[in-house]
Amino acid sequence: MNIGIMPAKMRTTVMKLEVVVIPVSNADDAKRFYNGLGWREDADFAFDDGFRVIQFTPPGSSTSIIFGKGVTSAPPGSATGLYLIVSDLEAARQDLLRRGVMVTEAFHGGSDRHVGVDAAYLFGTVRVSGYDPGRRSYLSLASFNDPDGNGWFLQEVTERLPGRVEGDAAFTSRMELASALRRAAAAHDEHEAKTRHYDVNWPDWYADYIVNEQVGKRQ
């Protein structure tokens, strides 16, 4: 009898999500909409047989969207539950409103007889107006649609779940870094109030707080 020996730790193949397909009815209308969001246009390829593929990438995202003509057989507008992660939900909402996008007010999950508060939010079964009462990470959202009705969520994430992010903190915009600094400043004020003395090492405290927050470690 042969007994196989499994390696102590199997190497996992790196798989990076590259694109998400968005079904649209009119490629030009969709292109104008996503251009209007300020997203980066990466490609617009048209072929003699009528096939056309257009690619856009949201600011700071490593994943892009593609749409066009002949790209997918899915009904236009059938893409739902597309999440855009932001560090400041209100700032993101105001940016979209300035661009003429109809975006909802902030909302969070409610509860019903069948699911709990967080589950209701995660699956969209109950919406309660306003931010999550504790302004907890992941639990405050807003939503908007593209011209075909493809549905997008803005999800405020300020502190990642443990193990979700590897390495040190990284920021994709000035606004995201500024938001992290404001949260660190507020937390440091509480820290000094508890210790009742001025923290001369506040830069180190800020740095530790921001990195730990992003990689999911409690301060």
C-alpha span between 64 and 24 (Å, rounded): 15
pLDDT digits (tens, 9 = 90+) for 105-152: 999 876 555 445 455 555 456 788 899 888 888 889 999 999 999 999
C-alpha span between 73 and 205 (Å, rounded): 52
Q: What is the set of domains in the chain, with CATH numbers?
A: 17-75 (3.10.180.10), 80-159 (no CATH), 174-215 (no CATH)
Q: Strands across the sheet with 19-21, in order?
A: 19-21, 64-69, 52-57, 40-46
User: What's the whole-model pTM score?
Assistant: 0.70
Question: What crossing angle do the helices spanning 174-195 and 202-215 adopt, rounded to 10°?
Answer: 120
Average pLDDT of span 172-191: 76
pLDDT for the residue numbered 173: 65
Using the predicted structure, report yes or no on whether residue 201 has a pLDDT greater than 70: yes
Half-sphere exposure (Cβ direction) of 139: Cα atoms closer than 13 Å: 19
* The two three-digit tokens of residue 78, written as one number: 């059938």
pLDDT digits (tens, 9 = 90+) for 162-173: 655 555 566 666
- Which residue reads 């921001």 in tokens? 210
Give residue 49's pLDDT band: very low, low, confident or very high (50, 70, 90). very high
Q: Chain-wide mean pLDDT for the chain? A: 83
